[in-house]
Amino acid sequence: MSFSQATLIEGHKPISPASGIPAWDIDPYDVEILKDPNAYYAELRALGEVVYIPRYSILTVGRFETTRKVFSDHENFLSSRGVGLNDFKLEDPWRPPSIILEVDQPDHTRTRKVMSRALSPKVAKGFADLFHETADALVDRLLGQGSIEAVADLAEAFPTTVFPKAVGMKDVNPRYLVDYGAMVFNAVGPDNQLRRDAMSHAGEIVPWINAACARDRLTKDGLGALVYASADDGTLSEDEAGMLVRSFLSAGVDTTVTGIGNALWCLSQNPDQWDALKRDPSLIRATFEEVLRYTSPVHTFGRTAGQATEIAGFPVEEGTKVTCVLGAANMDPDKWGDPEKFRIDRKPVGHIAFGAGIHGCVGQNIARAELEAVLGALIKKVDRIEPAGDAVWRPSNAIRALDKLPINLIPN
Amino acid sequence: MIKVTYVAHDGSRTDAEGELGDTVMSLAINQGIDGIIGECGGSMMCATCHCYVDEAWVGATGPRLDGEEDMLESAASEVNERSRLSCQIKLTEEMDGLVVHLPEEQV
């Protein structure tokens, strides 16, 4: 069966939901929801195991167990047809599909192995000195400034300093790095203003990104070189190596910027938890896990039913786009008890902020190492983190990030 | 229910009962057993759920899965031929009574 462009909705086949699946007339990508999603998350969970959103002709899940199950069920719910609303089987994506994110087994296994080796805990530990020295110097400089705008001054400044070094990039343009991430993540949403605005920079940024990922634009000792080594031994083609290096940039900058910003927001809003962390620095990593659970930096990603299947007993037809609202699952009281409380002693193992299963975030060790360095520098040097104005969120179709976070860092 | 015994590095034993499809890691987390962290939640991206399968149970748990070897290289404690990532051991009926030993440290 084929579909003309005109019959597609957001680039995918419209569906007739099975009877019993509640329909919800809402736009989950409305900027007001994206800025403050908790009420939407709660309603989505309350409506049922799976909900039909007529506006986009998709199914959506938000309860913890079901979301985890669908998101990690790579046999029935494919990634190769895109993790956004567009079905790559029916419509060409805006860029060649990612050979790690937008691919299924068995092809995925080959590229995933290259990346998980390049980003192993051991490799991440090797960056500890670089990350700690950079974080210490950055926090020292900011402490001299009084009040700061933490998104630009810290959350963006840190990853755009250390990550290109870790990758071994000779060309650095912090703005392009952040905007490229915004583009990639907004592109998984519908064709709305957010996506159109983000994509309007593509003509300028994409060629720069592609050029900066070429072998001769990378040092011999970074993550990029590790990936190109897999081209030398025949595991990857030269082009594939370039594409995987590119994925460091699409998935590794905007996300960690968001993680750092959200951590500062959580700690500035919860001074008792900041004090608890100061008292017991061994909770740094657990604190970051709770930040991830509490804010879900990637709030929504999708899958495509590769065949007729089911969700929680409801039939699901082939080609159905299913959005998995990770943010709703990570705030599900049935799983977490008191999810609305930010508690650094929660140790929320099993949260799905990094996804789950074979497509779980391959860069998570680097993300944790970055956060460990930033939070480590702060607890050493800062006595209190105080809000200095209202936090402003930056709506995105997939990322829950701050736009502005004015704070005062009060030195020890 | 499938019984799993976790033997800590100091020799203390804790029993837990899991269901088909649970992993040795997820069962340990749900039961609050110390000695398994499972930081990545089971995506085979960390090595903080390292365990040594008791000799008697190596047959039931089977060989390491694709990719497990690579991640074990990042384990904090010594890796031997019985080392597994416990997130990759999915409980089956044949594993009722399984004994795993936990390493001295996971990070």
Check residues B21 and B56 and name the one with the higher pLDDT.
B56
> Cβ–Cβ contacts within 10 Å for residue A175, how many?
11
Chain B residue nearest residue A282, CA to CA: B107
Which 28-87 residues of chain B touch chain A by CB within 8 A? 29, 37-47, 66-67, 70-71, 73-74
Q: Residue with structure tokens 């495509």?
A: A304
Q: Which two tokens stand for residue A401?
A: 């990030």
Residue of B nearest to A122 (CA): B74
**Chain A positions with Cβ closer than 8 Å to B:** 109, 112-113, 116-117, 119-122, 285, 289, 349-352, 354-362, 364-365, 368
Q: What class does CATH assign to A5-411?
A: mainly alpha
* Residue A361, annotated as binding a ligand: yes
Q: Is B21 on the interface with A (CB under 8 A)?
A: no
Question: Up-side HSE of residue A194: CA atoms within 13 Å toward CB?
Answer: 21
- Report the pLDDT value the prediction gives residue A319, as an integer from 0 to 100: 97
* Structure tokens, A311: 């969700």
What are the start-end ranges of the H helices in A144-283? 150, 157-167, 174-186, 193-199, 202-212, 223-232, 238-252, 254-269, 271-279
> What is the identity of the amino acid at A84?
G
Terminal Cα distance for chain B, rounded: 31
Over range B73-86, report the average pLDDT: 96
Per-residue pLDDT of chain A (412 residues; tens, 9 = 90+): 455 556 999 999 999 999 999 999 999 999 999 999 999 999 999 999 999 999 999 999 999 999 999 999 999 999 999 999 999 999 999 889 999 999 999 999 999 999 999 999 999 999 999 999 999 999 999 998 889 999 999 999 999 999 999 999 999 999 999 999 999 999 999 999 999 999 999 999 999 999 999 999 999 999 999 999 999 999 999 999 999 999 999 999 999 999 999 999 999 999 999 999 999 999 999 999 999 999 999 999 999 999 999 999 999 999 999 999 999 999 999 999 999 999 999 989 999 999 999 999 999 999 999 999 999 999 999 999 999 999 999 999 999 999 999 999 999 9
Minimal Cβ distance to B74: which of A121, A352, A354: A121
Chain B residue with CA closest to A288: the answer is: B39
Cα distance from B7 to chain A (closest Cα, Å)?
Answer: 21
The phi, psi pair for A206, rounded to 5°, reads -60, -45
Which tokens sit at A96? 């060649």
- Closest to A151 measured CA to CA, from A48, A252, A264: A264
CA distance B100 to B59: 13
Q: Across the interface, which of A113, A121, A356 has its CB nearest the CB of B43?
A: A356
- Does the beta-carbon distance from B43 to A122 stay under 8 Å? no
DSSP class of residue A21 equals P
CA atoms within 13 A on the CB side of A30: 11
Closest-CA residue of chain A to B76: A122
The verdict on a CB contact (< 8 Å) between B73 and A122 is yes
- Does the beta-carbon distance from A357 to B43 stay under 8 Å? yes
* Structural domains in chain B plus CATH codes: 2-98 (3.10.20.30)
Q: Would you call A149 helix, strand, or coil by DSSP?
A: strand
Domain boundaries, chain A: 5-411
> Which DSSP helix (H) or strand (E) runs through A373?
helix A364-381
